[in-house]
Every structure is written in structure tokens, then in C-alpha cells.
Amino acid sequence: MMAPTPSPWLQGFRPVSAPRRTLVCFPYAGAGAAVFRDWASDVRPDTELLAVRLPGRENRIGEPPLNRVEDAVPALLGALDPLEDRPLILFGHSLGAALAYATARALVERGRPPALLAVSGRRAPHRTSRRPPVDGLDDATFRARLAALGGTPPEVLACDDLMELMLPMLRADFAMSDAFLEPDPPPLPVPALAFAGAEDTEVMVEEVAGWERLAGAGFTLRTLPGGHFFLHEQRASIVSCLTEVAFRDERKAQ
């Protein structure tokens, strides 16, 4: 039985009758909520898992995709409003980390900080990307860029019809990721947990470590084996660490 969807922006994968906390997962560029489906079997029974679904994919494929992180935040806040009775853990990978961070900052401004901000495979917001933006790349070069990243299945890249359907969403997601930069961000009064891939050539460990500057209530860095999409192979370790850090902070707050 699948949990009811509370909003077009959020997808649940298993019902939790009386959740003590909610883990909200933000996907990487080109992905939808489904990339977190298997995570539901790893989280604690008293923890609700909700995955973010942006416009332009899955059952929202008919909606125009967004090009800026800031454009997604108001709707995300509205989707999270019904969950104000429990602690929120925000986790995002790559582009999802930027979305999770922007959502966390907006929640802080509302006086409702999340219990934990967890970011993965993403440089800190004040650090510029080492690669040029994808804006202006022709389709062939852009597809080669996707292939080099390794997050898109080869059979999808090889299917011209499917790529024609997906390219507007993919380009919008990469534009969203490329444009997100905060040169001098103030610290957040939220504990931060950052995950880095030891073999990730897209985002180096030291770039992920830069999130410490924003962590105004404690910072933990975990380096895990794997390249840029290490979150798939390291799912169990990531969920275990999220649980460990969240419980540690809950105990401190008691």
C-alpha cells in the first residue's frame, strides 16, 4: 500500500500512522521522486519518507520545468506546511542539495528551522563550479556531458525519441543548478551533515566540506566510496548516518 500523496510536490512510498519525524528527499538533476523509492525500506518505522517531485517529470511531465531554485521554494514551503507538527530532516543530492538548502533557509526565515540539513555531492553555495555552464551547449554536446556524469542510463541516452522528450527538463535542471550561487551566505542555525564521494570528480571532497561555513549549529562531514552518484550504492550508509545524527541532535534538544 502506498501512502497518499500530500501534494503534487511530494511523494510518499509507505504509510506511517504516527510519524515522529519526516525525512524529505530532494533529487538530483533529471531525476524524480522515484529515485528515493527504495529508501523507504531503510528508514525507521517511525520516520515518514517524502520525496520531492519537481515539474516536468513523472506524473508532472506536462508541466513546464523550472529554471531557478528560488522559483521552487514557495511551492515547496506550501507542500511542507501540513507537516509543521513534527521535525523535518532535509536531504538533497547534487541539485537536490541546493534545493534542500534554499528550503531550509526559507523555513528558518519563517521561524520553523528544520531539525537537520543534509547535503550530498554538492559544492557549498558560496563556491563556484569548476565546470562551464551547460547553457548554450548543442544537444550532442549536452548529451555527451550527461554521459560523462554517469547518472543517465546509456539506453536512455541512446534513444533519440526519449531524449527529445527529456531534454527540456534536463536543460532546465542543469540551468537551475548552474545558476545557484550565494557569494556570502550567513550561517544557518541548523545542524548540517554533508556527504562526499571519495572518487567524485564532479564535486571534490573539499568543495563539499565548504558547507561547514554555513553550519551554525554543528557540522559533520562523511566521505563515502564512489563517484558522483555514490548515493545509490551507499544508500544504507547514508540513511544510517542520517538517523544517527538526527537522533543525536534530538537527544541534545530534550
Residues acting as catalytic residues: 94, 228
List 25's β-bridge partners, or say none: 51, 91
244: which residues sit within 8 A by CB, 6+ positions away? none
Which of 79, 164, 87 has the alpha carbon at shortest distance from 118? 87
From residue 202, give the alpha-carbon distance in Å to each of 18, 106, 114, 177, 196: 40, 27, 28, 13, 11
- DSSP state for residue 221 in the 8-state scheme: E
| Three-state secondary structure call for residue 90 | strand
3-state secondary structure of 215: strand
Report yes or no: 252 and 117 within 8 Å, Cβ to Cβ.
Answer: no
